[in-house]
Amino acid sequence: MTKDEGPRTNAVERLSREIRDEIVRGVILSVLIKHRLDWVTFSTLRIQVQRGQGYPMDDGELKFHLAYLGDSARGYIENKPLRAGRAAAECSFVRATAKAVDLHDGRIPADPGVAF
Protein backbone atom coordinates (compact mmCIF):
# COMPACT_ATOMS: atom_id res chain seq x y z
CA MET A 1 0.00 0.00 0.00
CA THR A 2 1.36 3.41 -0.90
CA LYS A 3 0.91 6.60 1.07
CA ASP A 4 -1.77 7.81 -1.34
CA GLU A 5 -4.01 4.75 -1.02
CA GLY A 6 -5.11 5.59 2.54
CA PRO A 7 -6.84 8.93 1.92
CA ARG A 8 -8.03 7.84 -1.50
CA THR A 9 -9.57 4.68 -0.04
CA ASN A 10 -11.31 6.72 2.66
CA ALA A 11 -12.68 9.12 0.05
CA VAL A 12 -13.97 6.23 -2.06
CA GLU A 13 -15.56 4.57 0.98
CA ARG A 14 -17.18 7.87 2.01
CA LEU A 15 -18.52 8.44 -1.51
CA SER A 16 -19.80 4.85 -1.66
CA ARG A 17 -21.60 5.34 1.66
CA GLU A 18 -23.18 8.61 0.48
CA ILE A 19 -24.41 7.01 -2.73
CA ARG A 20 -25.75 4.01 -0.79
CA ASP A 21 -27.62 6.33 1.61
CA GLU A 22 -29.18 8.23 -1.30
CA ILE A 23 -30.34 4.97 -2.88
CA VAL A 24 -31.73 3.66 0.44
CA ARG A 25 -33.77 6.86 0.83
CA GLY A 26 -35.10 6.42 -2.69
CA VAL A 27 -36.08 2.83 -1.90
CA ILE A 28 -37.84 3.96 1.29
CA LEU A 29 -39.85 6.60 -0.55
CA SER A 30 -40.65 4.21 -3.42
CA VAL A 31 -41.98 1.62 -0.97
CA LEU A 32 -44.11 4.20 0.83
CA ILE A 33 -45.43 5.70 -2.42
CA LYS A 34 -46.52 2.22 -3.57
CA HIS A 35 -48.76 2.16 -0.48
CA ARG A 36 -50.70 5.14 -1.90
CA LEU A 37 -49.98 7.52 1.00
CA ASP A 38 -51.54 5.07 3.47
CA TRP A 39 -49.91 4.46 6.85
CA VAL A 40 -47.42 1.57 6.95
CA THR A 41 -46.00 0.01 10.11
CA PHE A 42 -42.31 0.50 10.76
CA SER A 43 -41.71 -3.27 10.73
CA THR A 44 -43.49 -3.71 7.38
CA LEU A 45 -41.46 -0.86 5.92
CA ARG A 46 -38.21 -2.35 7.22
CA ILE A 47 -38.96 -5.74 5.62
CA GLN A 48 -39.92 -4.19 2.28
CA VAL A 49 -36.86 -1.92 2.23
CA GLN A 50 -34.63 -4.90 2.97
CA ARG A 51 -36.19 -6.77 0.06
CA GLY A 52 -35.67 -3.74 -2.17
CA GLN A 53 -32.01 -3.48 -1.20
CA GLY A 54 -31.21 -7.16 -0.98
CA TYR A 55 -29.51 -6.96 2.42
CA PRO A 56 -30.55 -6.40 6.05
CA MET A 57 -30.90 -2.98 7.64
CA ASP A 58 -31.02 -2.44 11.38
CA ASP A 59 -33.72 -0.35 13.04
CA GLY A 60 -31.30 2.45 13.90
CA GLU A 61 -30.26 2.96 10.29
CA LEU A 62 -33.86 2.97 9.07
CA LYS A 63 -34.83 5.46 11.79
CA PHE A 64 -31.93 7.70 10.73
CA HIS A 65 -33.15 7.75 7.11
CA LEU A 66 -36.75 8.35 8.19
CA ALA A 67 -35.62 11.29 10.33
CA TYR A 68 -33.74 12.68 7.33
CA LEU A 69 -36.73 12.27 5.01
CA GLY A 70 -39.17 13.64 7.59
CA ASP A 71 -37.10 16.68 8.50
CA SER A 72 -39.13 19.89 8.27
CA ALA A 73 -36.93 21.13 5.40
CA ARG A 74 -37.80 18.04 3.34
CA GLY A 75 -41.20 16.81 4.50
CA TYR A 76 -41.22 13.66 2.35
CA ILE A 77 -42.65 11.41 5.08
CA GLU A 78 -44.88 11.62 8.12
CA ASN A 79 -44.32 9.49 11.19
CA LYS A 80 -46.96 8.63 13.79
CA PRO A 81 -46.18 6.72 17.00
CA LEU A 82 -48.90 4.54 18.48
CA ARG A 83 -48.72 3.26 22.02
CA ALA A 84 -50.54 0.07 22.80
CA GLY A 85 -52.12 0.09 26.24
CA ARG A 86 -50.31 0.19 29.54
CA ALA A 87 -47.58 -2.16 28.35
CA ALA A 88 -46.00 0.89 26.69
CA ALA A 89 -45.32 -1.19 23.61
CA GLU A 90 -44.78 1.30 20.86
CA CYS A 91 -45.44 0.84 17.20
CA SER A 92 -44.64 3.47 14.65
CA PHE A 93 -46.52 4.20 11.45
CA VAL A 94 -44.99 5.95 8.45
CA ARG A 95 -46.37 7.28 5.18
CA ALA A 96 -45.18 9.26 2.20
CA THR A 97 -46.47 12.78 1.62
CA ALA A 98 -47.67 14.40 -1.59
CA LYS A 99 -44.30 16.15 -1.73
CA ALA A 100 -42.60 12.73 -1.89
CA VAL A 101 -44.80 11.79 -4.84
CA ASP A 102 -43.93 15.07 -6.56
CA LEU A 103 -40.21 14.40 -5.99
CA HIS A 104 -40.55 10.87 -7.33
CA ASP A 105 -42.50 12.02 -10.39
CA GLY A 106 -40.15 14.93 -11.15
CA ARG A 107 -42.64 17.72 -10.46
CA ILE A 108 -40.25 19.37 -8.01
CA PRO A 109 -36.47 19.71 -8.34
CA ALA A 110 -34.39 16.64 -7.54
CA ASP A 111 -33.07 16.31 -3.99
CA PRO A 112 -29.35 15.46 -3.92
CA GLY A 113 -29.93 13.34 -0.79
CA VAL A 114 -32.41 10.99 -2.51
CA ALA A 115 -31.83 8.78 -5.55
CA PHE A 116 -34.57 6.93 -7.37
List the CATH number of the domain containing 74.
1.10.10.10
> What pLDDT, on the 0 to 100 scale, is given for residue 54?
85
Number of domains forming the structure of the chain? 1
Q: Is 64 within the bounds of a domain? A: yes
- Laid out side by side, the sheet with 77-84 consists of 40-41, 89-96, 77-84
pLDDT at 1: 47
In a domain, 59, yes or no: yes
Domain span including residue 53 = 5-105
Task: Decide: 96 and 29 in contact? Cβ < 8 Å.
Answer: yes
Mean pLDDT computed over every residue of the chain: 90
Q: pTM for the complete prediction?
A: 0.85
Q: Is the pLDDT of residue 3 over 90?
A: no
- Is there a domain that residue 92 lies in? yes
Quickly count: other Cβ atoms within 10 Å of residue 31's Cβ: 20
- 114 within some domain: no
**From CA 15, how far away is CA 8, in angstroms rounded?**
11
